[in-house]
Structure 1
């Protein structure tokens, strides 16, 4: 799976651009899309405004994890992996027995966005399984990423040459698109384009970027993890589509 969004939508953490080594050879979203389609000719690619796009391929699912993509009411969701409690979640959200994991995630997001007073970490904690997903709400221009706490399914994110956010479970394509400016998406975390990174196991602690340097003092890697010594004053909450991207997370003193 692959998703590429301009900086204004993806709002990638600035630390993703600190990777050392040669800059990526692909500088635009159009170039990344062309390379992906040449490598994965049977992939499905969904074009969005301003050359943003999502793509999914089923070529190597036997060796990795199954993937599915669903589009519902302007919400795109690529889901990789499996949920062990899909039946329970279908009943909880009032979905049919044919609803896939991707449909469950979309419905969970819609409830969270439109009606639920609960913070997003509580919703994701209800997902039991091995998974990673990329969700984009085209109407609200919200991006929502998540990975299970064990990191069972690959998900990487990085910054392309034009500053776009690139997310993929394919190390080969993200390395081609981002050079050294990418890192594994942190397990047990969610990313909201309006709120940034949140640990759903430690929602009251800030997720910080740790820059690792080589012998020459250059940044060689960026790792994101929850800082158990830094607490937040509040957790992002969502009550309507209007305030979904406007809730601020304030770092505690």
Structure 2
């Protein structure tokens, strides 16, 4: 799967856009070209162009049946999903959904609940999802994004920034290398990202994240590795009753 997001929709995380290696510059391609290259010669493929600044691409893969790929569109909210949710039936029941709702439709509805009502913090809601997963939600009405992976990042998933500072996400590391040069990394495990609040850990929600630069054998600074900073706690919240607060403002 592939998601290309213009910086007007979702800015790359701080530190993700690193300097180009010595003597190299990756030439940014337009969204249509990236979508075409990703799906070229693939069977059962789909590309969705969302104006000049965003696009999504998907194609069916043969292989691991436990890490299936899906896409869904609900009320101008687009979702790419890879993996599986083990407690799908229980979550569908909890959110009042039909028992046959699949994974990408479920996470869209979870996002909609967070966006519209905010009964719980996003960190808690994602922790309730059991399984192996990586997903991208693009809400074209609110002009926002919601991205998450499981605790152990068991689904290969990467993100990067090209020379136009577009945020690009994919399960294909080689494709991302070509699109972003050295400004790409594996998406941090146990984390989620929103266009308004940036990257956060839901596994260790009380702590801040820090970007740790990595320098290659040529001495070039490459993409950062994000990790939990256990020496920096977030300010203590005085909200003791989640149900009394509209957490949508924190999304």
TM-score by length of 1: 0.88
Deviation at 1:23, TM superposition (A): 2.9
String of CA shifts for 1:100-137, please: whole Å, max 9, x gaps: 01111111111111112321000000000000000111
Structure 1 runs not aligned, ≥5 long: 246-253
Q: Offset of 1:189 from its aligned partner?
A: 0.1
Inter-partner Cα distance in structure 1 for 2:67 and 2:247: 33
The residue aligned with 1:121 is 123
Question: Which of 58, 70, 73 is equivalent to 1:71?
Answer: 73
Equivalent pairs, count: 243
Change in Cα spacing, 1:17 to 1:120, as seen in structure 2 (3 Å) is same
Look up the match of 1:112: 114
Can you list the C-alpha shifts for 1:144-171, whole angstroms capped at 9, x where unaligned? Answer: 1000011110110001121110000111
Matches for 1:14-163 after TM superposition, within 5 Å: 14-18=14-18, 20-21=20-21, 22-40=24-42, 42-62=44-64, 65-163=67-165
- How many angstroms apart in 2 are the aligned matches of 1:66 and 1:17? 30
Give the aligned CA root-mean-square deviation in angstroms: 2.2
For 1:64 and 1:84, locate their aligned partners in 2 and report how far apart those are by CA, in whole Å. Answer: 10
**3-state SS of the aligned residue for 1:175?**
helix
The answer to which of 55-64 and 145-154 deviates more is 55-64
Stretches of structure 2 that go unaligned for 5 or more consecutive residues are: none
Secondary structure in 1 matching 2:79: strand
Q: Equivalent residue for 1:250? A: none
1:155-194 matches, within 5 Å, as 155-194=157-196
User: In structure 2, what is the Cα distance between the partners aligned to 1:171 and 1:214?
Assistant: 17
User: Partner residue of 1:12?
Assistant: 12
* TM-score (structure 2 length as normaliser): 0.89
Task: Verify the 8 A CA contact 2:84 2:133 in the aligned structure 1.
Answer: yes
Indicate if the aligned counterparts of 2:66 and 2:84 stay in contact, CA closer than 8 A: no
1:239 corresponds to which residue?
A: 246
Q: Is the 8 A contact 1:6 1:165 kept in 2?
A: yes
* Cα contact 2:131–2:150 (8 A) shared by 1: yes
Distance of 2:246 and 2:144 partners within structure 1: 15
TM-fit CA distance, 1:244:
5.9
* Structure 1 pair 89–64 and aligned structure 2 pair: CA distance change class (3 A): closer
Most deviating of 17-26 and 84-93: 17-26
- Pairing 1:221-240 to 2, within 5 Å after superposition: 221-233=223-235, 239=246
Report the CA distance between 1:39 and its aligned residue: 4.9
**CA distance in 2: counterparts of 1:96 and 1:8, whole angstroms:** 35
